[in-house]
Structure 1
Amino acid sequence: MIRYFLLFASPAVLFAAGSGSGEYDIVPRAINFAIFAAILYYLLAEPIKSAYFQRINGIAESLDSIQQKLKESKARKEEALSRVEEAKVSAKSLIQTTKKEVEILKQKFQKELAQELENLDKTHNEQVEIERRRMTRVAVSEVMDEIFQGDAATLDRDKFVHIVLRKVA
């Protein structure tokens, strides 16, 4: 504060010593300046202080809001990271579940395939047996037709076996 007083008082001192008439009116001028500075201080001190404190408060509020936003962004980041970790765990769980399901389906299809092959084999064997019976009936029918069409009295046992073997083979 004294610096400002000296800054404003120095031009007054220089002008006071200007004419050389021997009359120095420095004291009244200094008193006038002091009164002027006091009035100026009285009128401007409060608005300057309030502007200064408003600026400080504005900066503090801005800093608080920035810190709040920073905390919120950190919280969102932590939340996002936790969701990412949960997603990774969930993905691993899904992969394991999928592998188990694939294995179960593979075993199921293998069982179904084995059952289907067994059914096909059984059906094939039944068809072979049915065809064999049919062929036997046809052969027996042809042999019987030959026997009844031919000479029945002269047919001996060896000849009958030979005819049957020939038709069956």
Structure 2
Amino acid sequence: MKINYFLLLLAPMALLASGGESGGSTDIFPRAVNFLIFAAIMYYYVADAAKQWYVGRKNEIATKLDSIQVKLKESNSKKETALAKVEEAKANARVIVETAKKEALLLADKVAQDADVEIESLSRAFEDRVSIERRKMQRAIVCEVLDEMFKEGSISLDNDEIVKIVNKKVA
């Protein structure tokens, strides 16, 4: 309350103070009235344009904000679909890797079985060849023995002796 009284007492001093050059009155009141008239005229001519510009700018900003929000929602939905696709791709990759491992094991087993079958087949073929070669050798030896016996002719042998001789040669 004391401050209000103090300001009330100081107000006339501030309004009536002059530079001290002249002892006459100041033109502060006419200048203030002229300024108020100027401000009113400016408001009259510029207020509608300023309001329209303000409303237009506000609407433009709101439109841009809405479009940005729509783009943000679209990008978020695209991000979600991309993340879902990434997860799906990871799951598919895991399945493919598991399938590839199983196929590799199956192929390894199949190759091992085929190799065993091939080895067994080669072993049988070798044994068959060995037995065939033995028979050929036995026939050749028998033929040789018989040829010797028939060429000499002087030796007369009965069947038991011939069989013994052949068995000795073969064994």
TM-score by length of 1: 0.72
Residue identity over aligned pairs, in percent, reads: 47
Matches within 5 A, 1:29-68: 30=33, 36-68=38-70
The Cα of 1:34 is off from its aligned counterpart by: 5.3
Q: Structure 1: how far apart are the matches of 2:146 and 2:36?
A: 158
Aligned residues: 151
Secondary structure of the corresponding residue to residue 70 of structure 2: helix
Q: Which residue of 2 aligns with 1:100?
A: 102
C-alpha distance in structure 2 between counterparts of 1:164 and 1:90, whole Å: 76
Q: SS of 1:91's equivalent?
A: helix
CA shift digits 1:11-70 (9 cap, x unpaired)? xx99xxx954xxx9x68x84x665544332221111001111122122222222222222
| Structure 1 counterpart SS, 2:78 | helix
Question: Mind listing any 5+ residue stretches in structure 2 that lack a counterpart?
Answer: 1-14, 17-22
CA contact (8 A) 2:141 2:170 kept: yes
User: Helix, strand or coil: the match of 1:133?
Assistant: helix
Match of 1:80 among 68, 79, 82: 82
Query: Paired residue for 1:122?
Result: 124
Distance in 1 of aligned mates of 2:166 and 2:154 = 15
Alignment partner of 2:72 out of 70, 73, 85: 70
Q: How much is the aligned-residue C-alpha RMSD, in angstroms? A: 3.0
Partners of 2:132 and 2:50 in 1: CA distance: 118
Q: Distance in 1 between matches of 2:35 and 2:170?
A: 150
Gaps of 5+ in 1: 1-12
Task: Tell me if structure 1 keeps the 8 A contact 2:149–2:155.
Answer: no
Correspondence for 1:138: 140
The one-letter code sitting in structure 1 at the alignment partner of 2:128 is E
Q: Deviation at 1:162?
A: 5.2
Q: Structure 2: which amino acid aligns with 1:82?
A: A
Identify which range, 142-151 or 79-88, moves more after superposition.
142-151
- Report the AA paired with residue 91 of structure 2: V
Question: Matched residues in 2 for 1:139 and 1:48: separation?
Answer: 131
What is the rounded CA distance, in whole Å, between the counterparts of 2:50 and 2:145 in structure 1? 137
SS at match of 2:42: helix
**Larger CA deviation: 48-57 vs 148-157:** 148-157
Shift of 1:153: 4.6
Moved over 4 A (4+): 32-36, 156-159
8 A Cα contact 2:141 2:169, kept in partner: yes
TM-fit CA distance, 1:154: 3.8
1:5-44 to 2 correspondences below 5 Å: 19-20=24-25, 30=33, 36-44=38-46
